[in-house]
C-alpha cells in the first residue's frame, strides 16, 4: 500500500469518527428531555420571589384563590393594634421589665401550611372563644420562653438566656409560659371587647403541632406575628385565628371604622326624610261602598242614579289608596265640600 493510499484511508477513517461523535452528541428527535428543578420552577411560575398579583401565573392564582386576604377585614388590623398597646402595658407589669411589643406581620395562609412551618421547639396553646364556640392557636417560640423564664426567675440583664437544646420543657417553664399565655389571652379579649364581647379561654398546652390541630389543614387562617423585646432579650408570639372562628363577627370586622352601620347613611336618611315629607299624596273621601253585579255595571248609562246606603250626617272614611286613615264628618266650608277628621282608624294587620 502506497503512502497516498494510506493518507486517503486515514482521512476517511477520521471523517467517519467525526460523524459518529456528532450523532452521539445530538439527541434523537423522539427522546424525552428531563427538566431540572430550576426549569420546573420557572415553568410553574414559582421561585420568582414575592411576585405581585399581576405578575403571577395562572397556576399561582389558582393555588391562592382559596385564601381570603386579611385586608378584606379592615377592623381586624385595628383590633391587633389595640392588642399591641394593651399587651405592652400588661407585659411590663408581668415581668417588671421594659417590654416593647410590635406587629411583625399579618398574613393569610392555610392551617396545614402553618403547622408545617412552626419552628420547634415551641409551645402551642389551644384556646377557645366562648361566645364564638370555636378555637384558635397561640404559639410562643423557644427564644421568648427562655427569656420569660430568665426574667421571672431573676436572671441578670445583659446576659443571653441559657438555651439547652434536645430536652423537653420542664414543669417550671411550662407553668411560667402558661401564666404568660393567660395574660396575652386576657388582653386579646380586651382588644375585641369594643367590637364584640369575646372571652378567650386557655384550653391546653402542646409541644407537638399535630396535637394542636384545631381546624382542617386546608382551611384558611389569619396569622399575626408579634415581636416582644425585653431590652437584650425577647422572642415572638404567633396568633393564629381560623376564618371559621371569626365568622360570627365577620360583619363587624368588615367595617372601615368602629361603629359603622352598613346600609345606613345619616346624610342620605335626612335627605330622604325631607323629600318624603314634601311628597304629594291623594286622599279619597269614601261615602259608601257597594258590591254590584258586572251586568249592572255594564248596563249603566248617562243619567242613571246610584243610591247610597248612607244617612245624612253619617261619618265618611278618608283613605289613601287601599289604606284607611281617618273617620271624618262631611260638611261645607264656604262654597266647597269639606271634611272634619274625627278619629284615626287602626290599620288591620296583614292576613288578620
Ranges of each domain in the chain: 70-253, 280-298+309-352
Residues 6+ apart with CB under 8 A from 132: 198, 245, 246, 247, 248, 249
**Nearest alpha carbon to residue 80 among 104, 98, 100, 110:** 104
Cβ contacts of 204 within 8 Å, gap of 6 or more:
125, 126
Tens-place pLDDT, residues 46-57: 544 444 445 556
The overall longest dimension of the chain from CA atoms, in Å, is: 153
What does the alpha-carbon distance between residue 213 and residue 122 come to, in Å, rounded to a whole number?
Answer: 15
Burial class (CB in 10 A: 0-12, 13-18, 19+), 319: middle
Tell me which CATH code domain 280-298+309-352 carries. 2.30.330.10
For the cut 80, the answer to whether the pLDDT of residue 20 exceeds it is no
3-class DSSP state for residue 87?
Answer: helix
The fraction of the chain above a pLDDT of 70, given in percent, is 72
Q: Are 139 and 238 in contact (CB under 8 A)?
A: yes
pLDDT of residue 37: 66
Rounded Cα gap, residues 248 and 217, in angstroms: 21
- pLDDT at site 54: 52
pLDDT at position 49, please? 44
Confidence (pTM): 0.54
- pLDDT value, residue 52: 46
pLDDT of residue 259: 52
Region 17-22: mean pLDDT is 57
The three cell numbers of residue 101 are: 411589643
Question: How large a percentage of the chain has pLDDT more than 90?
Answer: 1
Sorted by sequence, the CB contacts under 8 Å of residue 225 that are 6+ apart come out as 103, 104, 105, 106, 236, 237, 238
Place of cell 260638611: 331
Question: Three cell numbers at 106?
Answer: 399579618
pLDDT digits (tens, 9 = 90+) for 176-225: 889 999 999 999 988 888 888 888 888 888 888 788 888 788 788 888 88
Q: What is the pLDDT of residue 275?
A: 87
- Report, as an integer, the average pLDDT of 160-188: 80
Q: What is the mean pLDDT of residues 265-293?
A: 83
Strand partners, 218: none
> 47 with 41: CB under 8 angstroms?
yes
Q: What is residue 239's three-state secondary structure?
A: strand
**Residue pair 129/254 in contact by the 8 Å Cβ criterion:** no
Kindly tell me if the per-residue pLDDT of 24 is higher than 60: no
In the prediction, which pLDDT does 195 show?
82
Provide DSSP, 5-17: HHHHHHHHHHHHH
The closest alpha carbon to 282, from 335, 318, 317, 315, belongs to 318
pLDDT value for 50: 45
Domain 70-253 falls under CATH 3.40.1550.10? yes
Q: Hunting for cell 409541644 — which residue is that?
A: 207
* Cis status, amide bond into 33, omega within 30 of 0: no
pLDDT at residue 48, as a whole number: 45
Nearest to 339 by CA among 316, 309, 308: 316
Q: Is the pLDDT of residue 352 over 70?
A: no
Comparing 266 with 265, the larger pLDDT belongs to 266
pLDDT higher than 70, residue 59: no
- Listed residue (338, 139, 348, 95) closest to 229, CA to CA: 95
Residue 40: predicted pLDDT: 65
Report the distance separating Cα 35 and Cα 44, nearest Å.
12
The three grid cell numbers given for residue 245, joined into one nine-digit string: 372562628
Q: How confident is the model at residue 165 (pLDDT cuts 50, 70, 90)?
A: low
Amino acid at each position: 500500500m502506497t503512502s497516498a493510499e494510506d493518507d486517503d484511508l486515514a482521512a476517511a477513517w477520521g471523517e467517519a469518527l467525526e460523524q459518529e461523535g456528532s450523532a452521539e452528541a445530538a439527541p434523537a428527535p423522539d427522546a424525552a428531555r428531563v427538566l431540572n428543578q430550576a426549569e420546573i420552577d420557572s415553568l410553574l411560575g414559582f421561585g420568582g420571589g414575592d411576585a405581585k398579583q399581576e405578575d403571577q401565573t395562572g397556576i399561582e392564582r389558582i393555588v391562592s384563590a382559596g385564601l381570603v386576604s386579611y385586608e378584606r377585614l379592615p377592623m381586624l388590623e385595628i383590633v391587633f393594634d389595640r392588642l399591641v398597646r394593651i399587651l405592652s402595658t400588661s407585659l411590663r407589669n408581668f415581668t417588671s421589665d421594659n417590654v416593647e411589643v410590635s406587629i411583625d406581620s399579618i398574613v393569610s395562609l392555610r392551617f396545614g401550611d402553618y403547622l408545617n412551618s412552626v419552628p420547634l421547639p415551641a409551645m402551642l396553646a389551644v384556646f377557645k372563644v366562648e361566645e364564638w364556640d370555636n378555637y384558635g392557636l397561640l404559639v410562643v417560640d423557644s427564644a421568648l420562653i427562655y427569656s420569660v423564664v430568665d426574667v421571672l426567675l431573676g436572671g441578670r440583664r445583659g446576659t443571653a438566656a441559657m438555651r439547652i437544646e434536645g430536652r423537653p420543657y420542664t414543669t417550671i417553664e411550662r407553668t411560667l409560659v402558661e401564666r404568660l399565655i393567660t395574660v396575652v389571652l386576657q388582653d386579646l379579649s380586651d382588644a375585641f371587647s369594643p367590637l364584640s364581647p369575646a372571652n378567650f379561654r386557655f384550653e391546653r398546652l402542646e409541644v407537638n403541632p399535630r396535637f394542636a390541630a384545631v381546624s382542617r389543614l386546608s382551611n384558611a387562617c389569619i396569622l399575626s406575628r408579634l415581636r416582644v423585646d425585653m431590652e437584650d432579650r425577647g422572642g415572638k408570639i404567633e396568633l393564629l385565628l381560623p376564618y371559621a372562628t371569626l365568622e360570627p363577627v365577620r360583619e363587624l370586622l368588615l367595617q372601615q371604622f368602629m361603629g359603622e352601620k352598613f346600609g345606613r347613611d345619616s346624610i342620605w336618611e335626612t335627605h330622604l326624610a325631607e323629600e318624603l315629607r314634601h311628597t304629594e299624596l291623594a286622599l279619597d273621601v269614601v261615602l259608601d261602598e257597594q258590591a254590584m253585579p258586572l251586568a249592572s255595571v255594564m248596563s249603566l248609562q248617562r243619567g242613571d242614579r246610584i243610591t247610597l246606603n248612607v244617612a245624612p250626617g253619617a261619618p265618611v272614611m278618608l283613605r289613601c289608596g287601599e289604606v284607611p286613615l281617618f273617620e271624618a264628618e262631611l260638611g261645607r266650608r264656604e262654597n266647597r265640600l269639606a271634611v272634619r277628621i274625627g278619629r284615626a282608624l287602626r290599620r288591620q294587620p296583614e292576613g288578620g
